Chain A
Amino acid sequence: MRKNPDSPIRQPLAVIGVTILTIWILIAIFAPLIAPSNPIAQNYGQLLPPNSHNWFGTDSVGRDVLSRVIYGARITLPLSMMLVILAMLVGTVIGAIAGYFGGWIDAALMRFTDVVLAFPGIILAMAVAAALGAELRNAVFAVVLVAWPTYARLVRGLILSSKNADYVTSSRLLGASTTRALFVDLRPNISGPVFVLAALEAGNGMLLLSGLSFLGLGARPPSAEWGAMVSAGANNFDKWWLAVFPGLAILTAVLAFNFLGDALRDILDPRTAKALRE
């Protein structure tokens, strides 16, 4: 990424997004030091409302909700990032191949993409996760399967719009091979928008993953996954603290990703960035 001295990250949203994400990452790394108790130990009375000892209250088997939310960051954040990276890689490769080579390759790949996009995301993810078995790993796989077409479409569009640009032709005239033109000339045009999309999609992926856990298709009961915790809270909906605190955790992390995505778009999109500088 290009460093631009003129536009430090000065938009407040970007600062908020980065701050929240940094806090969550620090919480995930230092969870054992921060958490007041073991997230799966049933140390306390059941369903205690928030009090001076258990700030976020306790759940139906007497576990400290605060500790579970803190440990939840260790599950949800890395998984969300992993699924974003996987979806980005798969989508980018498929989109780039379709866009650059065109013809029947493009037609075949894009029809397949359309088929995937035609399903409502959560339903397809549920079907895949259910078919593979309710396990966190399978849920991640299911989300990747739902998420990649967005990248493929974006990348294909970007490649199509610039593969015939004069600078690509001029590289070819200077003896660049197809792959070189693709990797050297077109990569910088793709990477910015793809990163923006990834940051924006990270929130969606996280929601989808939590949604699968909420539906019982992701994390298994003892593990402190945020979606699964909200789900457990929904069974005791009069005990608001069970669902609200993990829900807030999901909300803040998703919002932070979206803020970051918006800010990245402003920085990486040359036209918007230029308008800001002038």
Chain B
Amino acid sequence: MNQAQPILQLNNVSVTYKRADRTKITAVSGVDLTLNRGEILGLVGESGCGKSTLGKAAVGILPTSAGEITFNGKAVAPLNSSVRSRELLKLQLIFQDPYSSLNPRRKIGDQLIDGLLNSGVNAEEARESSAKLLERVGLSRTTLTKYTHQFSGGQRQRIAIARALTLQPEVIIADEPISALDASAQAQVANLLVELVQELGMSMIFISHDLSVVRQISDRTAVMYLGKMVEVANTLEIWDDPRHPYTKALIKAIPRPDGKGSMPLELPGDVPDPRLPPSGCRFHPRCPVAIAECSVMEPKMAPAADRWSSCLLNNELRKVGS
């Protein structure tokens, strides 16, 4: 790939929402992230780290409380009562659960042509291009006249992908698209997404808690912890040389099917309550190498060209080194 061209940019984005009990939760706080054209960016972290919230904010489903999100240089407007602008239709989301992202009471064909009808394509053409998309994702065109309950999880996720592709998006945000699926369906759907991204020249943010899948399919990887971005780097670099202790812990916790009985390493403790984030570095209470300063000083992520990690120790080390 030559010069990286940003297509989706998140600058200092925070997302705060009220829970049912009226307490405020800042699920994402001050995150910077750039998705380049043609790139697959993996976004990983434990549940509750804000990665799904960030994905939903990026397409405008959730309003941001601070910062700005731009898609192709234009601000992403939140999804309120008005109709999405034509430009924004090129920014689509694939949901985690294909059981809830398709309407069980409408024919699949009717759901697939929705987007095309909204943009003024006639029904005949819309059906034809939907049928072609279904064939592209590995289903027959007779799927058009069926209902979702006739399909397995993996097949439904293919349908959901086809639906998101009807308007020929430039950016796809896939929110845990394979984690609700069976073992063999996981690999099939992940592959399908990668192939489609390459074939159609799209860019994708692939949100997952499964670091090993992200390692395989993504060009760059971003790691989140408790609403903050802790490390962003090229996938292979992050895998070979993780700089943040949290990234290291995540990688060590992955069980490997090598048949050698090696135990994955546990990261003790739980993700803290996001209403009361720890002071300083948010990871310090669970960090195996934390020092006194970690609880006081908040590490800044210097937006270096390609490699970020927000760990005081790294910055210290670098200072010492230079």
A residues with a Cβ closer than 8 A to B are 2, 165-167, 169-178, 180, 184-185, 188-189, 192, 270
CB distance from A139 to the nearest CB of B (A): 36
Determine if A166 and B106 form an interchain contact, defined as CB atoms under 8 angstroms apart: no
CB distance from B174 to the nearest CB of A (A): 13
Complex contacts, A166 vs chain B, CB 8 Å: 95, 97, 100-101
Complex contacts, B66 vs chain A, CB 8 Å: none
Interface centre among B92, B111, B114 (most CB of A within 10 A): B114
> Closest residue of chain B to A170, judged by CB?
B101
Determine if B97 and A174 form an interchain contact, defined as CB atoms under 8 angstroms apart: no
Residues B145-177 near A (CB distance < 8 A): 147, 160, 163-164, 166-167
A165 to B147, CA, bound (A): 17
A177 to B105, CA, bound (A): 20
Determine if B163 and A174 form an interchain contact, defined as CB atoms under 8 angstroms apart: yes
Contact (A175, B89) CB under 8 Å given A167-B111, A169-B61, A188-B106: yes
Complex contacts, A270 vs chain B, CB 8 Å: 104
Determine if B106 and A170 form an interchain contact, defined as CB atoms under 8 angstroms apart: no
Determine if A175 and B118 form an interchain contact, defined as CB atoms under 8 angstroms apart: yes
Complex contacts, B84 vs chain A, CB 8 Å: 172-173, 175
> Closest residue of chain B to A189, judged by CB?
B105
Complex contacts, B106 vs chain A, CB 8 Å: 184-185, 188
Interface bin, chain B: 20 to 34
Interface residue? B59 (CB, 8 A):
yes
Interface residue? B187 (CB, 8 A):
no
Determine if B114 and A173 form an interchain contact, defined as CB atoms under 8 angstroms apart: no
Interface residue? B200 (CB, 8 A):
no
Interface residue? B262 (CB, 8 A):
no
Determine if A175 and B100 form an interchain contact, defined as CB atoms under 8 angstroms apart: no
B residues with a Cβ closer than 8 A to A are 59, 61, 79, 81, 83-84, 89, 92-93, 95, 97, 100-106, 110-111, 114-115, 118-119, 147, 160, 163-164, 166-167
Complex contacts, B103 vs chain A, CB 8 Å: 165, 167, 185, 188-189
A50 to B210, CA, bound (A): 82
Determine if A169 and B79 form an interchain contact, defined as CB atoms under 8 angstroms apart: yes
Which A-B residue pairs are the 9 nearest by beta carbons?
A: A174-B115, A188-B105, A175-B118, A166-B101, A167-B103, A166-B100, A166-B95, A177-B83, A175-B89
Complex contacts, B92 vs chain A, CB 8 Å: 173-174
CB distance from A141 to the nearest CB of B (A): 33
Complex contacts, A180 vs chain B, CB 8 Å: 118
Complex contacts, A185 vs chain B, CB 8 Å: 103, 106
Complex contacts, A172 vs chain B, CB 8 Å: 79, 84
> Closest residue of chain B to A186, judged by CB?
B103
Determine if A176 and B114 form an interchain contact, defined as CB atoms under 8 angstroms apart: yes
Determine if B105 and A175 form an interchain contact, defined as CB atoms under 8 angstroms apart: no
Complex contacts, A169 vs chain B, CB 8 Å: 61, 79, 95
| 8 extra interface residue pairs, beta carbon distance < 8 Å, beyond A188-B105, A192-B105 | A2-B105, A166-B95, A167-B100, A167-B103, A174-B118, A184-B110, A184-B114, A189-B105
Determine if B89 and A174 form an interchain contact, defined as CB atoms under 8 angstroms apart: yes
A192 to B110, CA, bound (A): 18
Determine if B118 and A173 form an interchain contact, defined as CB atoms under 8 angstroms apart: no
A195 to B156, CA, bound (A): 29
A178 to B80, CA, bound (A): 9
Interface centre among A174, A177, A180, A192 (most CB of B within 10 A): A174
Interface centre among A167, A176, A192 (most CB of B within 10 A): A167
> Closest residue of chain B to A274, judged by CB?
B149
Complex contacts, A176 vs chain B, CB 8 Å: 83, 114-115, 118
Contact (A173, B59) CB under 8 Å given A167-B111, A178-B81, A184-B114: yes
A2 to B145, CA, bound (A): 12
Complex contacts, B61 vs chain A, CB 8 Å: 169, 173
A170 to B118, CA, bound (A): 13
Interface centre among B95, B104, B105, B115 (most CB of A within 10 A): B105
> Closest residue of chain A to B175, judged by CB?
A166
> Closest residue of chain B to A174, judged by CB?
B115
A180 to B118, CA, bound (A): 9
A221 to B114, CA, bound (A): 56
Complex contacts, A189 vs chain B, CB 8 Å: 103, 105
A178 to B111, CA, bound (A): 16
A173 to B106, CA, bound (A): 18
Interface centre among A171, A175, A189 (most CB of B within 10 A): A175
A145 to B115, CA, bound (A): 39
Determine if B95 and A174 form an interchain contact, defined as CB atoms under 8 angstroms apart: no
> Closest residue of chain A to B173, judged by CB?
A173
A165 to B95, CA, bound (A): 11
CB distance from A169 to the nearest CB of B (A): 6
Complex contacts, B166 vs chain A, CB 8 Å: 174
Complex contacts, B100 vs chain A, CB 8 Å: 165-167
Determine if A170 and B105 form an interchain contact, defined as CB atoms under 8 angstroms apart: no
Determine if A175 and B115 form an interchain contact, defined as CB atoms under 8 angstroms apart: yes
A216 to B119, CA, bound (A): 58
Determine if A175 and B119 form an interchain contact, defined as CB atoms under 8 angstroms apart: yes
A5 to B142, CA, bound (A): 18
